[in-house]
């Protein structure tokens, strides 16, 4: 299920929607950092739409440091199992194919900046600890 705010990421920002693991692997294998937005069900989780608004602001706060893509419903569970990050919405970060960290759920702005700064510096916060929060 896609909300208008999630659809905005693909329609207005041109982010790809990744609907299978091969597409996810290809997107993440490119050089640099990449963020996969795992939205979950926006009808059941009110934080999903908030995260869809926050993510483009994070990209603007770290210009040129990472790009984004939306994970399709059909592959969401398999990806969450692969990286062992269960909450949605989640921002999953990869660098040149390597899982680099996660920021699950909606956070305070300063928390996003701190966690993302760590991830982009190669010192990722432990995703399993963050996922349990």
pLDDT digits (tens, 9 = 90+) for 41-98: 999 999 999 999 999 999 999 999 999 999 999 999 999 999 999 999 999 999 999 9
CA-nearest of 89, 99, 94, 109 to 40 is 89
pLDDT recorded at residue 132: 40
- If pLDDT is split at 50, 70 and 90, which confidence band does 1 have? low
As a whole number of angstroms, the distance between CA 101 and CA 37 comes to 12
pLDDT recorded at residue 119: 96
- Domains annotated for the chain, with CATH where assigned, are 4-132 (3.40.30.10)
CA-to-CA dists, residue 45 to 49, 55, 57, 61, 87, angstroms:
8, 16, 20, 25, 10
Model pTM score = 0.91
pLDDT recorded at residue 123: 72
Residue pLDDT, tens place only, 5-45: 999 999 999 999 999 999 999 999 999 999 999 999 999 99
Residue pLDDT, tens place only, 92-126: 999 999 999 999 999 999 999 999 999 999 876 55
pLDDT recorded at residue 2: 77
pLDDT recorded at residue 8: 97
Residue-wise DSSP of 27-89: HHHSSSEEEEEE---TTT-THHHHHHHHHHHHHHHSTTTEEEEEEPHHHHHHHHHHHT--SSS
């Amino acid at each position: 299920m896609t909300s208008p705010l999630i659809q905005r990421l693909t329609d207005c920002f041109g982010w790809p929607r990744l609907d299978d693991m091969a597409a996810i692997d290809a997107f993440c294998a490119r050089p640099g950092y990449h963020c996969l937005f795992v939205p979950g069900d926006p009808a059941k989780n009110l934080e999903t739409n908030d995260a869809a608004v926050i993510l483009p602001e994070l990209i603007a706060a770290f210009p040129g440091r990472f790009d984004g893509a939306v994970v399709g419903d059909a592959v969401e569970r398999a990806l969450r199992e692969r990286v062992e990050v269960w909450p949605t919405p989640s921002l999953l970060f990869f660098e040149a194919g390597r899982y680099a960290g996660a920021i699950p759920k909606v956070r305070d702005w300063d928390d996003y900046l701190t966690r993302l700064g760590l991830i982009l510096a190669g010192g990722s916060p432990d995703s399993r600890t963050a996922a349990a929060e």
